[in-house]
Amino acid sequence: MSHHPSVELHRTDRIGWLRAAVLGANDGIVSTAALIVGVAAAGTASHEILITGVAGLVAGAMSMAAGEYVSVSSQSDTEQADLTRERHELATDIESEQDELTHIYVARGLDESLARQVALQLMEHDALGAHARDELGISHTVTARPVQAAVASASTFAVGAALPLLMVLAAPASSLIPAVSGASLLFLGLLGGLAARAGGASVWRGAGRVMFWGALALGITAGIGRLFGAVI
């Protein structure tokens, strides 16, 4: 009976989509809740607060998608340019590329004869893959995926933004600010804790840092809204 080695899963496999998803949801909660609290502190009517929040959700989701797509596309373009140059070098000067990979493995601790043997065998199997991974630092776990990042950012922003909007519908006008603020901080804490757990970090530290920045954003926008509401 043959046995196949199990595939060991690492948390770095999640880093691409996890970063975009957490960033999107976090921004959705903070920006929408801060917007709601700011206009509510200025004495705006409830239906106008809701309209403002919905507009913030749509604009924010589109902004997140566009920004993430452009950013990750730039990374992808750089990766593709590096790979194109590497293909050319492998096609025109294979011996120099073998030497280059050998020196990389020597620098990592292998003796030169073993390093050259490893370099030759890896290049025989997949020359471009070996140089992409060990020379350029490009691997499947960190390869840029613009569309995936854009969709994840936009959708999670919308989900995050919907949470404080639900509080606008559920909470009475007299307690709108504390209800939105408290619920948003709770959501941020849960999100930060879950993201930290998925990444293998401290749950409490992950929750605490997003709650701190969320509270700071809510406090500043509430103060600005109250100031402008009093002036206007």
Residue 124 CB coordination number (10 Å): 9
Of these ranges, 72-81, 140-149, 176-185, the one predicted with the greatest mean pLDDT is 176-185
Alpha-carbon distance of 53 to 185, in angstroms, equals: 17
Beta carbons within 8 Å of 172's beta carbon, 6+ residues apart: none
C-alpha separations of 154 from 63, 68, 186 in Å: 8, 9, 21
pLDDT at 139 over 80: no
pLDDT above 70 coverage of the chain, percent? 84
Nearest to 149 by CA among 66, 64, 68, 63: 68
Q: Where are the alpha helices (DSSP H) in 135-175?
A: 146-170
Q: What is the mean pLDDT of the chain?
A: 79
pLDDT value at position 10?
A: 47
pTM: 0.66
pLDDT at 3 over 60: no
* Torsion sign over Cα 64, 70, 76, 79: negative
pLDDT value at position 41?
A: 87
pLDDT value at position 86?
A: 74
Q: What backbone torsions phi and psi does residue 150 show, to the nearest 5 degrees?
A: -65, -45
Residue 21 CB coordination number (10 Å): 23
Per the listing, tokens 């970090």 go with 201
pLDDT in tens, 30-77: 999 999 998 988 887 888 888 999 999 999 999 988 988 888 888 777
pLDDT in tens, 179-203: 999 999 999 888 888 777 776 778 8
